[in-house]
Structure 1
Amino acid sequence: MARRGENIYKRKDGRYEGRYIKYYDISGKAVYGYVYSRSYSDVKELLVKYKTEKPTRQSKNTLLSEWLKSWMKSQGTLKPTTKQIYKSHIDNYINPNLGKIPLKKLNGDILQGFINDLNLSASTVKNIFSILKSVLSSAEDNGLILNIWDKVKVPKKEKSIVQVLTINEQKLLESVLTSPLDIGVWICLYAGLRIGEVCALKWLNINFETLTLTVNGTQARTENGVEIIAPKSKSSKREIPIPVILINKLKEIPQTCEYVLSKNNKPVDIRTYRRYFKKLLQKADLPDIKFHALRHTFSTRALEVGMDYKTLSEILGHSSVGITLDLYAHSLNEHKRNEMNKLGRIFDK
């Protein structure tokens, strides 16, 4: 039974439910928000917090920029990196172009024009439109607009070419890796880590007795600056056996900081390390490639020496073997040709 004036009820599942007025819709009707906890005092505390925020009256005259603010506040469960991406796309593209338009004046033609004018990659355009759809869907749920986005067409995402160093190119790159700071490149070439995972790697994550490396964090730039956060997915948390060549390289690095990749006793920032990698490419007289190509190179070398896709998928931290197959199956045409040619040798004996 609710205590007078508190709007807190005990549910059949044992939890307490608290109700508060979130805002008023365009008809003036109160729209309620709900909070849940197994603790009565926790629910009461949350209600006090939300009730101090004065309910607003939403209107079709509400500008998209105003609704964007409201929508972003409701996205509290987002990962810091995802939230930063959303904020960047909203601040740089959606708000400058559409923010001053009232919700009631938005239509499919305006959205299509916005999409067409974005001089960005198909992937980025798709991400921006996905955010915009979520924002407008929430406005539709609150009776402020109709669905105006279903017929908007976005450019199809082109399948990106996986950049991989040839064996000779890899040898050239390895020949210029002489500094302790180069250990990040060695780790990516022989363990397949992402750049954020390398920059977050600590010495305590490396076990020289069991010859294993544990990935349980990644470096990311959030609204609070550079932080070490949880990996991008559950499967990204993993333990990787370290090959002998990499163990030997790691043993050569002085442990002057808790981070493996460090400079001036501080972890190296991702942006800084990407710029450093470009200089290594120039030094080795190699073509300009993305840092992520090192991860692709590791995967290709692993498949070339006979590693199965399931094992490789787990080492890379992919959520499914299908992702690994889709990325790398096409990169072993020569290997596949040799395997097929074995069929003709069956009767040579």
Structure 2
Amino acid sequence: MVRRGENIYKRKDGRWEGRYKKGRREDGKIVYGYIYGKNYQSVKDSLPLYKSKYNNTKEVKGELSINLEEWLYHWLSQNKNMIKESTYSGYKYKIDKYILPVIGHIEINKLTIEDLENMIMTWQDSGLSSSSIRVVFTILRSSFLFAVKKKYLNENICDHIDLPSEKRNKIRSLTLVEQKMLENEARKSMDGLGFAVILSLRTGLRIGELAALKWEDIDMEGNYIYVSHTVQRIPKHNGKSKTKIIYSTTKTQTSIRKIPMSDDVKNWLLKRSNTSTPYIFSNNDTPCEPRLITYHFHKIRERAGLNNVHFHQLRHTFATRCLESRADIASVSSLLGHSSIKMTLDIYADTMMENRVKAIKNMEMMIKTSL
């Protein structure tokens, strides 16, 4: 190509090409933009406008000029060794499924508030719940925060977005009658996975925590169950198999806890303890995966005539029984492994209403008797 002027060249096809700086990559390399014209003068006259746009973008938003897809994969690779494998897999799945199809092609320093608002509306139109929208958007916000910390961007545009309010779906606990019906059916297969149903109802363990439970986690002398790991199936991002089972630490630090055993739970465990397998619920010396426990649970609930009950309701039933027996909210929160007492209060506010009514009646009685 023949060059005339600053960054203006004549191409072999006869057109004139002007090159301007439009940003940098995450490794610091300059990213160039190009404009074309039929003659040298038209290109020369247009270049200042593009250079001005770059300078304005650099000042307001920052220099990072790669599309969002490339940036998010870079961000994931930078954080891969600092997060759990299951967390990484979940992030990548949500990025690929929800973010990239909508705005993945847009350069990161060209993204606008309108782009993000349109993405959220797209998610809503597809039926994505408000809580799921918040989870996915938090991933995007975190990636932008990383870019700001690295000084690739000047601001986190996600901070300007108002997310749809989260509607918490109340999870119904089983009544005492329903619990007895379910336990009666589960007791018929206590040598198998019926015990998983009973154990969840009596300890509040999550299904992944049950699957990960080892005999070494049981303190028969102290009468405690130690909960520190979970088993889950996560998507694979290479190879023939689409998913894989992983055994890892629990979701959060507060999920690591010890749960006192009742006499019944201890006796049931003692009856199963004559085994050489490391896991309480095992499949050829490997942990029994959650979906197998779920499969057997569905069989048990159907025989009990409780077709609309889900496994996670067993955990909520345990919490409800604790609160009904006058357990304090801090103890219940600790038993469940919640991140805060507020979280427990938010979930079980309705369950505690009966206690509040009694508190008011007792207060009124005390006032009347003292007058």
Into which bin does the TM-score normalised by the smaller protein fall?
0.7 to 0.9
After superposition, the CA RMSD in angstroms is 2.8
Question: How many pairs does the alignment contain?
Answer: 299
Give the stretch that moved more between structures: 314-323 or 205-214.
314-323
Q: Deviations along 1:131-189, whole A, 9 cap, x unmatched?
A: 11222344455445765434333211112213211111101111110212111111111
Amino acid at match of 1:161: K
| Residues 183 and 250, structure 1, Cα contact 8 Å, conserved in 2 | no
Residue aligning to 2:86 = 81
> Partner of 1:285: helix, strand, or coil?
coil
In structure 2, C-alpha distance between the alignment counterparts of 1:117 and 1:234, rounded to whole Å: 35
Residue aligning to 1:115 = 120
Amino acid at match of 2:194: D
1:328 and 2:337 are equivalent in the alignment = no
| Residues 59 and 144, structure 1, Cα contact 8 Å, conserved in 2 | yes
- Measured after TM superposition, the shift of residue 269 of structure 1 is 0.9
> Partner of 1:302: helix, strand, or coil?
helix
Give the stretch that moved more between structures: 177-186 or 339-348.
339-348
In structure 2, C-alpha distance between the alignment counterparts of 1:81 and 1:252, rounded to whole Å: 34
Q: Deviations along 1:84-113, whole A, 9 cap, x unmatched?
A: 211110111112222223335422222211
In structure 2, C-alpha distance between the alignment counterparts of 1:150 and 1:314, rounded to whole Å: 33
**CA 1:310 to 1:106, structure 2 compared with 1: closer, same or farther past 3 Å?**
closer
| Residues 190 and 246, structure 1, Cα contact 8 Å, conserved in 2 | yes
TM-score (norm 2): 0.72
Residue aligning to 1:106 = 111
Give the stretch that moved more between structures: 239-248 or 217-226.
217-226
In structure 1, C-alpha distance between the alignment counterparts of 2:94 and 2:31, rounded to whole Å: 32
In structure 2, C-alpha distance between the alignment counterparts of 1:303 and 1:322, rounded to whole Å: 15
Q: Deviations along 1:256-313, whole A, 9 cap, x unmatched?
A: 5211112344321122322332332222111423322111111110111122222222
Residue aligning to 1:160 = 169
Residue aligning to 2:142 = 134
Q: Which stretches in structure 2 are left out of the alignment for 5+ residues?
A: 1-25, 33-61, 237-243
Amino acid at match of 2:267: N
**CA 1:306 to 1:68, structure 2 compared with 1: closer, same or farther past 3 Å?**
same
Residue aligning to 2:207 = 195
| Residues 193 and 296, structure 2, Cα contact 8 Å, conserved in 1 | no
| Residues 104 and 145, structure 1, Cα contact 8 Å, conserved in 2 | no
Amino acid at match of 1:173: L
TM-score (norm 1): 0.76
Q: Deviations along 1:29-79, whole A, 9 cap, x unmatched?
A: xxxxxxxxxxxxxxxxxxxxxxxxxxxxx9755221111111111113112
Q: Deviations along 1:219-246, whole A, 9 cap, x unmatched?
A: 1334663222112222222221101121
In structure 2, C-alpha distance between the alignment counterparts of 1:220 and 1:211, rounded to whole Å: 27
Residue aligning to 2:271 = 252
> Partner of 2:250: helix, strand, or coil?
coil
In structure 2, C-alpha distance between the alignment counterparts of 1:95 and 1:282, rounded to whole Å: 41
**CA 1:134 to 1:277, structure 2 compared with 1: closer, same or farther past 3 Å?**
same
Give % identity: 33
> Partner of 1:331: helix, strand, or coil?
coil
| Residues 26 and 144, structure 1, Cα contact 8 Å, conserved in 2 | no
**CA 1:26 to 1:301, structure 2 compared with 1: closer, same or farther past 3 Å?**
same
- Measured after TM superposition, the shift of residue 192 of structure 1 is 1.2
In structure 2, C-alpha distance between the alignment counterparts of 1:340 and 1:136, rounded to whole Å: 49
In structure 1, C-alpha distance between the alignment counterparts of 2:354 and 2:155, rounded to whole Å: 54
Residue aligning to 1:275 = 295
Residue aligning to 1:51 = none
- Measured after TM superposition, the shift of residue 122 of structure 1 is 0.7
Q: Of 199, 212, 234, which aligns to 2:224?
A: 212
Q: Which stretches in structure 1 are left out of the alignment for 5+ residues?
A: 1-21, 29-57
| Residues 197 and 218, structure 1, Cα contact 8 Å, conserved in 2 | yes
| Residues 173 and 280, structure 1, Cα contact 8 Å, conserved in 2 | yes
**CA 1:143 to 1:334, structure 2 compared with 1: closer, same or farther past 3 Å?**
closer
**CA 1:311 to 1:146, structure 2 compared with 1: closer, same or farther past 3 Å?**
closer
| Residues 338 and 344, structure 2, Cα contact 8 Å, conserved in 1 | yes
**CA 1:315 to 1:84, structure 2 compared with 1: closer, same or farther past 3 Å?**
same
Amino acid at match of 2:201: L
Amino acid at match of 1:182: G
Residue aligning to 1:19 = none
